[in-house]
Amino acid sequence: MDNVLNISFDKGYVLAVEDSKVQAKRIQHFFYENNIPAKICSNGAEALETAIMEKPLIIVSDVVMPVMDGYEFCSKIKGNPELADTPVILLTSLSDPLDIIKGLQAGADNFITKPYEDEYLLTRMKYLIANRHFRQMGSGEMAIDIVFQNQKFKINSDKKQILSLLLSVYEAAVNRNEQLIEAQQQLEIMNENLQAANKELEAFSHTVSHDLKSPLNGVIGFAELLKSVYGDVLDDEAKSYLNNMIKSAYNMAQLIEDLLNFSKSGRAQINPEVFDLSEMVHIVVDELREMTYKGHYDIHIERDIMIKADPGLVRVALNNLVSNALKYSRNKEKPEIHFGTMEKDGEKVLYLRDNGVGFDMNKADDLFRPFIRLHSNREFQGTGVGLSTVKRIIEKHGGDIWFESAPGAGTCFYFTFE
């Protein structure tokens, strides 16, 4: 190896063929930094003329080029008696196994896969120059017929050339595998750090949200007591102030509850079991209509929809979806809610459709992100956390959720479970 590294380029020049101006500049800089005499050509035809005029020590050529590609150029070099012993390195992505066959047919001495390290290219160049006379001693006309991918190929390269080429491919594969292993290790470390950060963030969110509930409950309780006991002695303006304070406190309480659910959904373990989803939807609808949405809704729920999932988490998701459907359709003259199943690409898909206000799909790219709302609080109260929680719960089950909507035409949410 020491003898290889001591090879000098003072008895000739390196011919490089590269059609990309950026890559040509890069390899030109590489030659300059290593004090290597070189000539750069932009295609195989130009490089062939240059090589015939003045024989190079070694050729480094790209494969994909206009006019004449690297394989044809290499074949013409090896077919020229004056140039046949000139080592040729092909620079390629090796994305297709046929690249190796084409390289062997063309008589290439080495493959170097892109992207490559400059030091590696320099070492391979010196190795091929140092061993050129050994290849000359072992060369001889021979033809090997091989069949690959149901095609027959004739290989005219000598044994040492074939061995050198295959070793270079193997070495490139080993290097690429080492890079992949290193990248995988780095990803695992980054993933562990990300999981730790997520746990800390979720714990912080849970703690803050939980600690906020106690003083807020005190504010709500005393405000309700003030309204109940002293409501008769307050004027209309004072009552308005008090009602707004209570309303804002309840809104904040709902936001805290949503944040807690969002935090829990990230940390919750999935405990799946088979249950009647239709029955759960009935229960959720009845509870919401009794507490909040008391209008005259036309509600249709498909019967006997059985799924295997975590009932507790699904209940949280349904509560958010049904609440949205009831809320955004309650101002319609005849509000309608439909829950059922459909077939899509051979898969069972659940849906919840309303005929409410809807929204512009072009403005809904971030709908599942926390705190994103498409309607103001003046129009409809909300925190913008509910759909984020729904998406997280469904994805934890290995499912997916998407939607269709249009202003004034209602909204339909589609979702699946694994």
- Tell me the pLDDT tens digit for each residue of 149-176: 566 555 555 555 566 666 666 666 677 6
User: In Å, how far are 97, 216, 234, 246, 265 from 239, measured between CA atoms?
Assistant: 81, 20, 6, 11, 39
- For residue 52, pLDDT over 50 is answered with yes
φ, ψ of residue 347 to 5 degrees: the values are -115, 145
Q: What is the rounded average pLDDT of the residues 107-129?
A: 83
Q: Which among 208, 314, 306, 307 is positioned nearest to 268, based on CA atoms?
A: 314
Q: What is the rounded average pLDDT of the residues 254-264?
A: 65
Tokens 């051979």, located at residue: 346
- For residue 140, pLDDT over 50 is answered with no
Tens of pLDDT, residues 326-346: 888 877 888 899 999 998 887
Tokens 């190796």, located at residue: 100
> What length does the chain have?
418
> Cβ-count burial of 85 within 10 angstroms (0-12 exposed, 13-18 middle, 19+ buried)?
middle
The mean-pLDDT minimum among 79-93, 132-146, 378-392 falls in 132-146
* 354 touches 411 (CB < 8 A): yes
Where residue 142 falls among pLDDT bands split at 50, 70, 90? low
Q: Which among 255, 269, 264 is positioned nearest to 203, based on CA atoms?
A: 264
- Residue 146 three-state SS: strand
Largest Cα separation within the chain, whole Å, is 114
- For residue 380, pLDDT over 50 is answered with no
Distance CA 344, CA 208 (A): 42
376 phi-psi bin (left φ>0, alpha ψ -120 to 50, beta other): beta
pLDDT given for residue 2 in this prediction: 47
* Bigger pLDDT: 137 vs 179: 179
* Bigger pLDDT: 356 vs 201: 356
Tens of pLDDT, residues 197-211: 777 766 666 666 667
- For residue 278, pLDDT over 50 is answered with yes
- For residue 77, pLDDT over 90 is answered with yes
Q: Which among 108, 26, 20 is positioned nearest to 59, based on CA atoms?
A: 108
pLDDT given for residue 372 in this prediction: 55
* Bigger pLDDT: 385 vs 25: 25
Distance CA 354, CA 413 (A): 9
* 342 touches 297 (CB < 8 A): no
CA neighbours within 13 Å on the CB side: how many for 335? 21
Where residue 1 falls among pLDDT bands split at 50, 70, 90? very low
Average model confidence (pLDDT) across the chain: 79
Q: What is the rounded average pLDDT of the residues 209-214?
A: 70
Distance CA 390, CA 395 (A): 9
Q: Which among 93, 104, 203, 91 is positioned nearest to 144, based on CA atoms?
A: 104
Q: Which among 123, 124, 120, 97 is positioned nearest to 110, based on CA atoms?
A: 124
Other Cβ atoms closer than 10 A to 362: 6
Q: What is the rounded average pLDDT of the residues 87-102?
A: 76
Q: Residue 18 corresponds to which amino acid?
A: E
User: In Å, how far are 17, 61, 116, 179, 194 from 113, measured between CA atoms?
Assistant: 15, 12, 6, 13, 33
Distance CA 107, CA 103 (A): 6
* Domains of the chain and any CATH numbers: 2-157 (3.40.50.2300), 187-264 (1.10.287), 268-418 (3.30.565.10)
pLDDT given for residue 14 in this prediction: 94
In 240-326, DSSP assigns E strands to: 273-276, 298-301, 306-309
Distance CA 63, CA 73 (A): 9
Give me 331's structure tokens: 């101002």
Q: Which among 194, 104, 101 is positioned nearest to 151, based on CA atoms?
A: 101
Whole-prediction pTM value?
A: 0.44
Q: Residue 325 corresponds to which amino acid?
A: A
pLDDT given for residue 97 in this prediction: 64
